[in-house]
């Protein structure tokens, strides 16, 4: 993994959200293998951060626990529609 901007290979993976066990991440954080991105996440967050120039890039994949609840088709009853 290299930074696309400065070509250094000292790159950290950005951890989004609150870590459940900060102690298990401590060593990685010290080595800058991981950096904390914060608790506010969106659909367009970068995945990598360069420790050299702070350039961020990539596409982080968040595992939203409640993704299924955003199914707007639920509650729309097909039987009712066809009865009319
Ligand atoms: Zn860089």
**pLDDT above 90 covers what percent of the chain?**
55
- Report if pTM > 0.85: no
Q: Within a domain: residue 32?
A: yes
Helices and strands of the chain, counted as H and E runs: 2, 4
- Asked if residue 3 is part of any domain, the answer here is no
Residue 55 pLDDT more than 50? yes
Residue 63, pLDDT score? 65
| C-beta atoms surrounding 50 within 10 Å | 21
For Cα atoms 39, 4, 12, give the angle at the middle one, nearest 5 degrees. Answer: 40
Domain count, the chain: 1
| 73: pLDDT strictly greater than 80 | no
Residue 2 domain flag:
no
pLDDT higher than threshold 90 for residue 56: yes
Q: What is the mean pLDDT of residues 13-25?
A: 90
Give the environment of ion ligand 1: residues with CB less than 5 A: 3, 5-6, 50, 52-53, 55
**Is position 55 within any domain?**
yes
**What is the extent of the structural domain holding 59?**
11-83
Report the pLDDT value the prediction gives residue 17, as an integer from 0 to 100.
87
Ligand 1: centre distance to CA 82 (Å): 58
């Amino acid at each position: 993994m290299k930074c696309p901007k400065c070509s250094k290979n000292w790159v950290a993976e950005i951890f989004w959200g609150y870590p459940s066990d900060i102690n298990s991440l401590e060593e990685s954080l010290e080595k800058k293998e991981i950096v904390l991105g914060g608790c506010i996440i969106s659909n367009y967050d970068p995945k990598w951060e360069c420790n050299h120039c702070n350039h961020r890039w990539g596409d982080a994949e968040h595992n939203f626990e409640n993704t299924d609840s955003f199914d707007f088709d639920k509650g729309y009853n097909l039987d009712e529609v066809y009865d009319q």
